[in-house]
Structure 1
Amino acid sequence: MPKTTIANTRADIWRFRLISALRTTLACTIVGCTSLYSPEPLRQYLEFPAFSYVTTILLVSDATLGDTLRGCWHVLIATLQVMILSLLSLHVKGPEYFDNRVAALAVAVCSFVVALPESTHLMTKRIAFGQLVIVYVSTVIHGAQRGVVMHPIHAASSTALGAIASVLAMLFPYPRLAYYEARQFYRIYTENVAERLDFTLEAITASDNSSALGFSTQVKSLSIVGAKLLQNIRSNLDGMQWERPQTRFCNRRSIDLEEKLQDLEIPIRGMDIALSSCTSFPISVIDEKLKGTLLNCRGKFSPKLDQKARCFAPFDATTAERKKEIFNINLTIAYKDLQTSFFLYCVQILLDDLPLAKKTEHMVQRTQKTRGIKEFVMSFMPSKHNLMFAFKCSLSLGLAVLFGLIYNKENGYWSGLTIAISFVTGRQPTFSVANARGQGTAMGSIYGVMCCFIFQRIGDLRFLSLLPWVVFSSFLRHSRMYGQAGGISAVIGALLILGRKHYGPPTEFAVARITEATIGLICFISVEILSQPSRAPTLAKSQLSKSLRTLQDCIGSIPTTIPSQRDMPSSSSQALREGQQRLKARVRRLEEFIVESKLEPSFWFLPFHSGCYTKMLESLSNMVDLLIFVAYSMEQVTRLSQKDGVCCVDFQDRVKENIELFKNRVGITLKCLEEIIRMKSLRKLENDLRTKNVPCDIESGEYANAEAYITLGGNDEVDGITGSFLQLLEDIANKTHFNKDEEMLKDQLLLHYSCMGFCMSRLMRETLKIESEVKELVIWENGSIEVNFKEIYCKIITLCS
């Protein structure tokens, strides 16, 4: 079967990027023609066409009409803030008294005020930073010649031109709607899910290992494309709210699109986990009848996806019939092969459209209450994180403006403007971003100088040379080497030379601007290092330790007893679901640190062990998905156990015993790994022990807490715990019932217990993988040949006690 969605996704993404590049070109053309050829009364207010281009690039790049309308709102808010702050400061001090130091101080103070509110959008802050630089630097250059009001008005007029050009570019020749693009990507995504299901079913029913490996490889390729499609869908959600506030996609009373996407994605990922757990093919428990049933499901899933694309209509009778058939067959193998049983369990969830990722009402109410309290408190008191962000922006811009004006007064804008549009509220790979921005500025400036030389006799045509460069830079923004920072800098570098007149020789201006940009980037890097001295690899290691701690809490919150009937059916797994959400956030943060660590240079530090961290991230991601299935199966077991006529009391003690054994072994192992990861180095540990003069048993060579180290005993112990659970499932399956309804309830319990058994088995094996990678990481960081975790952990516990 051809991988059509891979080709369709690449074609659609390429087409959307090309459309974005052409609309960016149109917006820049509108700005250029207006600033160069508009009537004189209008041009006298457009003193800063460079910032018009900057505004256009920020608003139009990869944007839809909704994104651009939202950007215009941010422009309006930023302009109002800058007008109030600049008019107040210019009126108090007076333009004639502004010199380099006063301007730098004014930029620093006003930037701090703009950056401090946490509710203000980052785009608003970037636009305001740029306007502040323009207003105060132009005040230093022109002094009191233009009075107090004209500098802010010129900055606001130039910004408004960029915003208007952006909206016009989004409307002509037809509106580029976020709703349309989200619907297109969602259609392709549903096709991608159908293809992944097809190849996964082919793989699980394969007759040999080679065929299964081929289908699994195709599933991995489709999974990568599916992740990109999900990212594109999510990126259009905010724009849709500005285009159609009453649309069904954005109506709070309608089905949550994010949860629906998760209900499609998580079962597919669960099938991938089950497939990767199979060691040999063909699988003995999949006979010809089950194989035929599974392969027949390939065509039955498409009608459901078509209905989901049409605002998630319910299934028809054919689909319901098919899922019932799979459900019955699944029961016969639940206690014989956990991998296959869990695979069919995921197929049932997918076809049944069960709300696997849906939050309970208690969680939703608690989240809304927490958000309301947080927003109320934060409106009066900025957080520590936002104070640090405001301080960084203030100091960086103040120093950049000061040194930029000292170096070259006439071109002092560019040192501040270079970094004004590059701030982010979180962390970023500072050196990589600064390097990409510097290279992009140099490339764009050189291109502009070359075009000026080529078109020196016909200067009016040089603006046409911008069109291919804007298109090229739009694609450059999506490259790994340059990214957004480099692509934006490249297009702005050329725009500032080719899109303006009467600024002197192009070569001198290009050299001056590159130098000013370098000054700004040096100030930016220096402040970032001073404010955030911790390296990304250090933060990645710390986040890994926190993730293991959160995972330990999740494992500990798995319920072992069935709640009484007066309790809520979901109360037993409430803590587990909340913990799973916290773990998911931790793992996402860890992924960000790993990506940043890969991009940043190592300098004189130990190189980042990316392979080790990537494997641990993969294991943690699998565990995040497995915990969702554990919570869901626990909820279903609780619901079924509270029905009349269910005789499962005999098995509850054995289930409790297995779960407690699993929690004890995995929990202690994770605690040991957490403590070992938090250790700075083996040498420092030994020095601390010698400093505290901790006694050691001479005969055994061990410390007093040697018995505290009790971890998983490898795959043999995992197989033993799994075998005990399989025996329990077999006893449940062989229990005789005479009531048909009671027999059906028993079968459903068997199905959900088999899901729990597989998840616990896989969680233990993923823990063993993490333990192996942690051992490799400790060896890598300490230069040791062999590492004894028991000895290290005992030393850590002894030192702490």
Structure 2
Amino acid sequence: MPARAMMAADQAWAVWRRRLGSAFRTALACAMVGCITLYGPSSLQNQLAFPAFSYVTAVIIVSDATLGDSVRGCWHALYATVQVVPPSMLSLWVLGPARFSSVGLAAIMVALSAFAVALPESTHLMAKRIAFGQIVIVYVGAVIHGDQTGAVMHPLHVASSTALGAFASVLALLLPYPRLACCEVRKLCRLYAENASERINLFMKAFCAQDNPTAVETISQAKPLAETGTKFLQSIKLIQEGVMWERPNIRLLKPGSLNPGERLQEMEMPIRGMEIALTSPSFPVCITNQELSEILLRVELQISLKLEQAKRFPLLETTTAPEMKGESLDQFLQYLKINSATQKCLPAFFFLFCLKLLQDDSTITQNIQPVIDSSQKPKTEESRDSQEQAKYSSKRICTNWHWIPRNETLVFAFKCSLSLGLAVLFGLLFNKENGYWSGLTIAISFATGRQATFTVANARAQGTAMGSVYGVVGCFIFQRFSDIRFLPLLPWIIFTSFLRHSSMYGQAGGISAVIGALLILGRKGYGSPGEFAIARLTEAFIGLFCFIMVELLLQPTRAVNLAKSQLSQTLGTLRECIEEVVLCSRQKEMPTSIFQALREKQNRLKAHITELELFTGQAELEPDFWFLPFRVACYSKLLRSLSKMADLLHFMNYSMELLLQASQRCGPAWMEIQEHMTTDLDIFRKNVASSLKCLEKIALIKSLTVFEKEFQDKKINHNLELGKALKANVCILSTDEEEEKILNSFLQHSTEVTDQIHSNQIEEEPKSQMVLCLSALGFCISGLMREMKDIEREIRELIRWDNPTCCINFYEICHKIDSL
């Protein structure tokens, strides 16, 4: 316990230290901008005419960044400048700065330029945000200064202010020592390896526990570690993008070394499977003794050596990796003399299956070779495979490159264009001298996807107000020491850096708070700080009002309705994945293209689940107004069940590939195995897929009253045309008896086939591996059917909640949907 507590304290300290370091470097970048713009030579200050945008650029780039991220941010700033400055020079030269005294013309030019910047899908969102800010400053500055604005020098001043912010962000990541993405990834890999090792140790203790309370207590200790491990993986995936910008030569390494996030995620899957096995209702089952416990200790030692390799970055292939086979675990299986699996022992065997995956190779499904050895494959087949791979690559490239913008891209571009145009128009009409801030407030807040509009706007408004009040108070306290009034900004920047990670304000509120104070304490020449703060707050509310109105006009659909639609799509994709898995079980050989297509569909399922989670979070933050409250508890349970089913489908894919691999050593007995397995899986598919198809349609029902009316109209029309009533099929929802029957049939057939393998004197190793894979397959079937009942229960709860005045018969609804 002390060692575990020490490890948790080290992980918490690492997170706190990383955030504190990010806050310090943000303060350093802003201090550099402030010193240069406030105390630099007058000739340099004349060129840096917009220090406010230098602060904005620095904060956008340096927040939670590594050196590679800051270099990439400089590239985005340069790209944005190339997109904005030359066209703005041309437009100012053609139209003439004098004509831009018209507020309407400036708003139109801002809208057109923003549309042109937002339309290309290949442009990074950071580059678009910086470009939006430059557009606002260029054209609003032309209105404010009129004839004094040069068609060339004014855009160049905007570009130089942007360059100062980008340069300060890179310099802040270099001093006092560089914060390298490689070092950060290496630290996170080490922390994740320690976390995974501790979880595996707890899981092994729970597996070997001789009493139920000890196992339950041990599993409960691993739950917070699992959440921390997930956060480490997410951080690795975010930070590893900056590695390429620090070390371009790393591209010459093997592909597996470039993406440690994916490699570690593959190691995470078997660990997650071990947790699923231990948390199943029928666990723990004691099948171990002293000798078997010693074997498990050797297995754990081998896995710990593998985790030691995971601490290294880049993740290079080592010479010790091929030697780390599963001899100890194979001895374990042979010692147990596994000849069959019972329903009670399925969780234990699934635990061993995941342990074997983790011990042998977490990427086993990607390294499994086809049934026909490549050395024996004809040259024509090799060339055909290479041609198919080339065709697939070219097809993927073509699909990623959109010659015609998608509807989502057009909506995003039009939203940015209209919001910025209206914000600039009303901001200039209200206060010409401070017309920048209405557009700049929302220029850095656009997101390509749908976002919780009211929540984001509320966080930005509160952040702007807090920052402005802090700036005014700082000016009042240091009014006699104007030269050092920049110093109070440093603790505020550190505070707001932590504020960005809070659930109350998030990125939007934290950035608005730091910029609100920076524009008052880090700038001179705005007159009275109080008057400027009030004017800027008003302009900010004007911009946020335009942002909200445009969002509501272009995307009026509530996040609750989007979550419902996404739930239906997710259930449909889940049904397709289950059907594909069953179809793969009928294959006589192992075509890698089929399993590759299946993995891609399963990845698409996980993408749907991630999007459903996003919509669920947005719907939770969305104001209810006159609507019913959002049932976040039901959707959280649905997300948990869907995620678990997606994991189980991956393990079904693993077990089938390993079964096909082991079948080559079982001779004719494999044909009977496959025949029985296919029959049982077909029954499972019909049961689960039919239920999912029904639930997919039920999830879209908004009102039972409207649904009943549609059904009655359809029934009357059908009776008039054919002279008879609609016939409803039997109830298609799964029952406990059907689930028990399917699982028992599968296990009985598995036992019969393994007995036949034993009678044919097949060697022990493939037989034990085949029984283990069949047991894992049975556990996945049992888990999928169990989660299906949870999904049915939660969707039934949602229907009842959305229709509180109706008497609901869930099975009758299923009959009517099937009839329609």
What is the TM-score when the length of structure 1 is the normalising length? 0.94
CA deviation vs aligned residue, 1:325-379 (integer Å, no higher than 9, x gap): 3443566275131111001100111111142463889897676333311244x1x
Alpha-carbon distance in structure 2 between the residues aligned to 1:286 and 1:417:
66
Please say if 1:341 is aligned against 2:363.
no
Pick closer, same or farther for the CA change 1:45–1:4 going to 2, 3 Å.
Answer: same
1:4 Cα shift? 4.3
Give the conservation status (yes or no) of the 8 Å contact 1:78–1:127: yes
Is contact 1:3-1:195 (8 Å) kept? no
CA separation in 2, counterparts of 1:93 and 1:108?
Answer: 16
| 1:242 is the counterpart of 2:280 | no
- Structure 2 vs 1, CA of residues 696 and 398 (structure 1 numbering), >3 Å: closer, same or farther? closer
Instruction: Report what 1:637 is aligned to.
Output: 659
Query: Do the aligned residues in 2 keep the contact of 1:572 with 1:635 (CA within 8 Å)?
Result: no
Distance 1:391 1:101, change over 3 A: same
Q: Which is further off, 583-592 or 721-730?
A: 721-730
SS state at 2:503 partner: coil
The reply on whether 1:72 has 2:52 as its aligned counterpart is no
Match of residue 353 from structure 1? 361
Instruction: Deviation per CA, 1:232-275: give whole Å up to 9, x if none.
Output: 10011210010012227975375753442122110011111111
Give 1:287 shift.
4.2
Who is 2:380 aligned against?
none
Conserved 8 A contact 2:427-2:438: yes
Q: Deviations over 1:61-113 (max 9, x none)?
A: 10000000000001111111111221121122111011211111110000001
* Counterpart contact for 2:474–2:488, Cα < 8 Å: yes
After TM superposition, the structure 1 = structure 2 runs for residues 20-99 of structure 1, keeping only pairs within 5 Å, are: 20-98=22-100, 99=102
Asked if 1:730 corresponds to 2:755, the answer is no
**What is the match of residue 492 of structure 1?**
515
Does 2:445 align with 1:443? no
More deviation, 742-751/310-319: 310-319
What letter matches 2:249 in structure 1?
Q
Cα 1:318–1:428, aligned 2, differ >3 Å: closer, same or farther? closer
Alignment of 1:259-338 (within 5 A): 259-279=262-282, 281=284, 283-295=285-297, 297-310=299-312, 311=315, 312-313=317-318, 314-315=320-321, 320-329=326-335, 332=338, 335-336=341-342, 337-338=345-346
Shift of 1:601: 1.5
Counterpart in 1 of 2:236?
A: 233
Residue identity opposite 2:444 in structure 1? I
User: Which residue of structure 2 lines up, in the alignment, with residue 369 of structure 1?
Assistant: 394
Q: Partners in 1 of 2:714 and 2:732 — Cα distance?
A: 25
Q: 2:148 aligns with which of 145, 150, 153?
A: 145
Distance (whole Å) between structure 1 residues aligned to residue 125 and residue 226 of structure 2: 32
Partner of 2:788: 767
1:147 to partner: Cα distance: 2.2
Q: CA deviation at 1:220?
A: 1.1
Letter in 1 for 2:455: S
Mapping 1:381-780, distance limit 5 Å: 381-559=404-582, 568-571=590-593, 573-643=595-665, 645-692=667-714, 694=716, 704-714=726-736, 716-735=737-756, 737=758, 742-780=763-801
Deviation (angstroms), 1:46: 1.0
Matched residues, percent identical? 51
Unaligned runs of 5+ in 2: 370-384
In structure 1, C-alpha distance between the alignment counterparts of 2:310 and 2:265, rounded to whole Å: 13
Q: Is the CA contact (8 Å cut-off) linking 2:486 and 2:521 kept in structure 1? A: yes
Q: CA separation in 2, counterparts of 1:33 and 1:229?
A: 36
Question: Does the CA contact (< 8 Å) of 1:27 and 1:168 recur in 2?
Answer: yes
Q: Which moved more, 1:285-294 or 1:453-462?
A: 285-294
Whether the 8 Å contact between 2:702 and 2:802 is mirrored in structure 1 is no
**Residues 630 and 696 (structure 1), Cα distance of their counterparts in 2 relative to 1, 3 Å cut:** same
Deviations along 1:8-48, whole A, 9 cap, x unmatched?
A: 22211111111111111111111001001111111101111
Compared CA separation, residues 479 and 330, structure 1 to 2 (3 A): farther
Deviations 1:117-143 (Å, cap 9, x if unpaired)? 111111111101001100111100110
Distance 1:673 1:564 in 2: 30
User: Are the equivalent residues in 2 in contact too, given 1:196–1:222 (CA < 8 A)?
Assistant: yes
SS in 2 for 1:557: helix
Query: Match of 1:710, SS?
Result: coil
1:129 corresponds to: 132
Q: What SS does the aligned partner of 1:783 have?
A: coil
> Using a 3 Å threshold, how does the CA distance of structure 1 residues 740 and 245 change in structure 2: closer, same or farther?
farther
SS at match of 2:667: coil
For 1:255 and 1:416, the matched residues in 2 are separated by 40
1:706–1:790 CA contact under 8 A, matched in 2: no
What is the CA distance between 1:664 and its match in structure 2?
0.6
In the alignment, is the contact (CA less than 8 A) between 2:673 and 2:750 conserved in 1?
Answer: no
Tell me by how many angstroms 1:447 deviates: 0.2
Q: Deviations over 1:431-459 (max 9, x none)?
A: 11110000000000000000111111111
**Secondary structure, aligned partner of 2:556:** coil
SS of 1:381's equivalent in the other structure is coil
Partner amino acid for 1:436? A
Count, aligned residues: 790
Superposition deviation, residue 690 in structure 1: 3.8
Contact 2:338 2:771 in 1 (8 A): no
Q: Equivalent residue for 2:379?
A: none
Using the alignment, how far apart are the partners of 2:392 and 2:810 within structure 1?
A: 40
1:375-419: per-residue Cα shift (whole Å, max 9, x none)? 44x1x3222211111100000000000000001000000000000
Q: What is the CA distance between 1:649 and its match in structure 2?
A: 2.5
Alpha carbons of structure 1 residues 240 and 597: separation in structure 2 relative to 1, 3 Å: same
Q: Partner amino acid for 1:370? A: K
Gaps of 5+ in 1: none
Distance 1:790 1:415 in 2: 55
Contact persistence 2:69–2:242 (CA under 8 A): yes
Partners of 1:522 and 1:707 in 2: CA distance: 53
How does 1:120-199 map onto structure 2 within 5 Å?
Answer: 120-199=123-202
Give a deviation string over 1:570-623, Cα, whole Å, max 9, x none: 355444323212211111111111111112221111111011011110111011
- What is the TM-score with the length of structure 2 in the denominator? 0.92
- SS state of the match for residue 233, structure 2? helix
In structure 2, C-alpha distance between the alignment counterparts of 1:695 and 1:212, rounded to whole Å = 61
The residue identity in structure 1 corresponding to 2:636 is: T
Structure 1 pair 384–793 and aligned structure 2 pair: CA distance change class (3 A): same
- Counterpart-to-counterpart distance in 1, 2:643 and 2:805: 29
RMSD: 2.4
